[in-house]
């Protein structure tokens, strides 16, 4: 009868090595899954935040612009003396990045209700006056201007395009921020996903200004605003930032020419036009139309953008709306 062999105790070095390798793969897979999940969640959070900015901006525009008047002008005492409302396209030229308008109301330029309840056009002042006793905030002939203000330049790796800040609008508007080497970033990424790295972008804010005619009751009844230590014109009633992280692609080295299509070079889509009038016949945006009396509505397109946590991906979100004009409001 053969003697029984004693069982071997413990494990061999080879078994320990194999178990260690398997454990390493399991841990690596777990960390990779966790990292990817965290990255996806972070990108989703950024995209949601950008989308929310766009939704809120369009909501503000719909509230104001659905019954607004984009024609006429307002005397602000600057150069030119009469600032033309609508889309500034001459002096100054906003390259479709600004809009000026009034909304309907029934109070005169002193804030007193019109006895006949006649509808006039003006805007709401954020400041309440002691007189008239009942102050709804509306003043005839006041106006609102919303404009894009670039704060930084974002260049893809090989872009050599010179970017020039928009020319100052003059009284009563503050000067645009300075764009120079300190406010310029080279990304070394394809920011808009068009398969090249030759584009330049500007990123900044949409700013809302309430203005009142020179010499009017509203202009003379408040203390002039100050911005960065500079006293602004008496006609400027208020300044409010209504959206940030707004992105436009630079079209040329011309000052303020920031309305190139954001997502691609061709075919042309007018995706870089923040404010554009819609053609009376086709209802489609036509950037050659500069007078609201020749349009059926206002097309608004706004891009917001920000970097992910790694700084290697630039996330863009687009929001757009078409606001039809009320018949007779553009006279």
pLDDT in tens, 24-71: 777 777 666 655 555 555 677 888 999 999 999 999 999 899 889 998
Q: Is the peptide bond before 249 cis (omega within 30 degrees of 0)?
A: no
Evaluate whether residue 313 is within a structural domain.
Answer: yes
Residue 52: phi and psi, rounded to 5, are -65, -40
For 140-193, the pLDDT digits (tens) are: 999 999 999 999 999 998 788 899 999 999 989 999 999 999 999 999 999 998
pTM, to two decimals: 0.84
262-267 contact pairs (CB < 8 A, 24+): 262/192, 262/201, 262/303, 262/316, 262/318, 263/192, 263/193, 263/194, 263/316, 263/318, 264/192, 264/194, 265/194
Cβ neighbours of residue 65 closer than 8 Å, sequence gap 6 or more: 99, 101, 298, 323
Evaluate whether residue 3 is within a structural domain.
Answer: no
Evaluate whether residue 15 is within a structural domain.
Answer: no
* CA distance readout (Å), 118 to 5, 104, 114, 121, 218: 112, 10, 6, 10, 20
Residue 180: phi and psi, rounded to 5, are -150, -165
Structural domains in the chain (count): 1
Evaluate whether residue 287 is within a structural domain.
Answer: yes
Evaluate whether residue 292 is within a structural domain.
Answer: yes
* CA distance readout (Å), 143 to 29, 38, 103, 225, 236: 60, 46, 8, 17, 10
What is the extent of the structural domain holding 312? 47-324
């Amino acid at each position: 009868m053969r003697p029984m062999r004693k069982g071997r105790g413990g494990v061999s070095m080879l078994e320990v090595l194999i178990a260690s390798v398997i454990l390493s793969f399991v841990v690596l897979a777990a960390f990779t899954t966790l990292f990817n999940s965290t990255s996806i969640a972070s990108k989703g959070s950024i995209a949601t935040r950008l989308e929310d900015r766009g939704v809120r901006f369009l909501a503000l525009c719909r509230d104001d612009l659905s019954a607004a008047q984009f024609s006429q002008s307002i005397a602000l005492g600057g150069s030119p003396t009469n600032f033309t409302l609508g889309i500034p396209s001459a002096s100054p030229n906003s390259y479709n990045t600004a809009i000026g308008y009034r909304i309907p109301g029934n109070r005169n330029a002193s804030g007193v209700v019109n006895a006949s309840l006649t509808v006039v056009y003006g805007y709401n002042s954020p400041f309440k006056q002691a007189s008239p006793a009942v102050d709804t905030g509306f003043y005839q002939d006041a106006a609102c201007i919303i404009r894009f203000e670039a704060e930084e330049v974002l260049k893809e790796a090989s872009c050599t395009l010179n970017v020039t800040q928009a020319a100052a609008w003059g009284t009563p508007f503050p000067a645009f921020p300075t764009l120079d080497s300190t406010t310029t970033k080279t990304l070394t990424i394809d920011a808009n996903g068009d398969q090249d790295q030759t584009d330049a972008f500007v990123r900044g804010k949409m700013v809302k200004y309430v203005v009142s005619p020179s010499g009017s009751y509203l202009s003379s009844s408040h203390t002039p605003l100050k911005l960065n230590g500079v006293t602004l014109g008496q006609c400027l009633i208020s300044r409010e930032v209504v959206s940030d992280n707004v992105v436009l692609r630079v079209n040329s080295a011309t000052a303020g020419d920031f309305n190139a299509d954001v997502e691609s070079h061709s075919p042309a889509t007018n995706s870089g036009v923040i404010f554009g009038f819609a053609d009376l016949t086709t209802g489609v945006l036509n950037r050659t139309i500069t007078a609201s009396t020749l349009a059926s509505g206002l097309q608004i397109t706004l891009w917001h953008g920000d970097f992910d946590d790694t700084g290697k991906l630039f996330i863009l979100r687009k929001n757009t709306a078409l606001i039809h004009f009320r018949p007779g409001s553009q006279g």
